[in-house]
């Protein structure tokens, strides 16, 4: 240890305290910090090292304090009281420490979020690891930009309540909604709520990457709310050249899984066939055979080839089965009858369905029955 003690107590320390220029003191600070970070110090040596770091943290020259912050930003050797002092310094010194230092407690980070301002909140949001306690404070007190950054940080842990609160605070913020949607995992309740808050592109990402309950999938199919999407679905059914139409939609990235679901739910089977063929890169006649194959394997195989989300297969299957089970005769209730058949098929499919999901679907069937009775009564 004699070599280490000498490294901490000889010329570099004198230069740190008495160096004529800030550049000289900054060079000494860098060398000493590097030694402190790498050395295996005894208890008395560690105390000396900490005292030296406290001297550096009070140096009048920003250059010296910055040399210290940059060199020790990832080091567990930095005393917590010194880290807190640096976190309150000017941003060029504070931000590296706040972003990376492992010596902060959750309480320290929460206080920085509450009192530190936008730049420091962003630095906390970017940290390589964050607890639910810190992310909750960021959601409550952070700026829109900080909340978007922390929601995009997959190394940050969130409670379900915190993510719901992020949607409450920033329900109109595209960057926050996108950051939440693109997290690697999401609670079911958050996924389902997001579905009603985002545009088609994010909705399709959620459908493809996050779990949704069967009733929400069907609700998307039969309850298409967006006027533009409904118009596009109806246009799909009327297209004189469905092949050219789906090619155009694919080029402009509008040929999405949810559009195919809605088109199928509206009975536009020709459009569905051509769309699947386009996405799968398979000729239409072969796609037609696979979709309408009496067995279970053809539709599943072509959907997989088209890159359609596996969790939506049951809904596609229900739509195709419903199409086979009825004929469209042009009556005013065609669409409603078709959707009722879809739900019936989904209810009677061999796929296990939770009781609350089946209750929801039965309620939908009752609603269709009431609508039909009102229309004919």
Rounded to whole angstroms, how far apart are CA atoms 227 and 306?
Answer: 26
The reported pLDDT for the residue numbered 40 is 79
- Tell if the pTM clears 0.95, that is, is over it: no
Q: What is the dihedral of CA 260, 184, 192, 136, to 10 degrees?
A: -160
The reported pLDDT for the residue numbered 79 is 93
pLDDT in tens, 9-23: 556 566 665 656 888
The reported pLDDT for the residue numbered 46 is 79
What DSSP element (H or E) covers 50?
helix 43-57
Mean pLDDT of the chain: 79
Can you spell out the DSSP letters for 155-218?
A: TB---HHHHHHHHHHTTT-HHHHHHHHTSS---HHHHHHHHTTS-HHHHHHHHHHS---HHHHH
The reported pLDDT for the residue numbered 303 is 93
User: 114 with 141: CB under 8 angstroms?
Assistant: yes
Give the 3-state secondary structure of residue 338. helix
User: 286 with 299: CB under 8 angstroms?
Assistant: no
The reported pLDDT for the residue numbered 84 is 95
Instruction: Give 159: exposed, middle or buried? Use CB within 10 Å, 0-12, 13-18, 19+.
Output: middle
The reported pLDDT for the residue numbered 221 is 52
The reported pLDDT for the residue numbered 297 is 85
Rounded to whole angstroms, how far apart are CA atoms 193 and 160?
Answer: 12
Q: Which residues of the chain have pLDDT under 50?
A: 1-7, 224-230, 330, 352-358, 360-362, 365
Closest C-alpha among 200, 197, 204 to residue 307: 204
The reported pLDDT for the residue numbered 192 is 75
The reported pLDDT for the residue numbered 357 is 43
Rounded to whole angstroms, how far apart are CA atoms 255 and 93?
Answer: 49
Rounded to whole angstroms, how far apart are CA atoms 256 and 178?
Answer: 17
The reported pLDDT for the residue numbered 226 is 40
The reported pLDDT for the residue numbered 301 is 93
Percentage helix, strand, coil for the chain under 3-state DSSP, each rounded to 5: 70, 0, 30
The reported pLDDT for the residue numbered 302 is 94
């Amino acid at each position: 240890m004699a070599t280490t003690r000498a490294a901490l107590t000889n010329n570099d320390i004198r230069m740190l305290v008495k160096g004529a220029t800030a550049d000289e003191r900054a060079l000494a600070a860098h060398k000493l910090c590097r030694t402190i970070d790498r050395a295996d110090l005894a208890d008395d040596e560690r105390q000396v090292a900490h005292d030296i770091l406290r001297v550096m943290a009070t140096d009048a020259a920003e250059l010296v304090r910055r040399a210290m912050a940059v060199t020790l930003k990832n080091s567990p050797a930095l005393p917590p009281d010194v880290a807190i002092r640096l976190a309150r310094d000017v941003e060029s010194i504070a931000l590296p420490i706040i972003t990376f230092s492992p010596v902060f407690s959750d309480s320290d980070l929460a206080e920085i979020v509450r009192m530190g301002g936008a730049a420091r909140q962003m630095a906390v949001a970017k940290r390589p690891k964050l607890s639910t306690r810190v992310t909750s404070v960021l959601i409550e007190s952070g700026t829109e930009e900080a909340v978007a950054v922390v929601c995009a940080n997959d190394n940050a842990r969130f409670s379900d309540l915190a993510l719901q609160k992020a949607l409450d605070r920033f329900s109109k913020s595209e960057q926050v909604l996108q950051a939440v949607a693109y997290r690697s995992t999401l609670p079911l309740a958050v996924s389902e709520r997001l579905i009603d808050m985002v545009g088609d592109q994010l909705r399709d990402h959620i459908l493809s990457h996050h779990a949704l309950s069967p009733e929400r999938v069907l609700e998307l199919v039969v309850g298409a709310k967006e006027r533009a999407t409904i118009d596009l679905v109806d246009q799909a059914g009327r297209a004189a050249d469905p092949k050219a139409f789906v090619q155009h939609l694919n080029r402009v990235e509008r040929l999405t899984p949810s559009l195919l679901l809605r088109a199928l739910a509206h009975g536009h089977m020709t459009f569905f066939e051509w769309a699947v063929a386009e996405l799968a890169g398979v000729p239409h006649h072969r796609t037609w055979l696979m979709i309408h194959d009496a067995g279970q394997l053809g539709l599943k195989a072509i959907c997989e080839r088209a890159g359609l989300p596996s969790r939506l297969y049951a809904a596609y299957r229900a739509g195709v089965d419903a199409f086979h089970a009825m004929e469209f005769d042009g009556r005013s209730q065609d669409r409603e009858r078709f959707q009722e058949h879809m739900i019936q098929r989904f209810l009677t499919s061999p796929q296990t369905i939770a009781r609350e999901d089946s209750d929801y679907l039965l309620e939908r069937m009752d609603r269709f029955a009431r609508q039909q009775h009102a229309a004919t009564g």
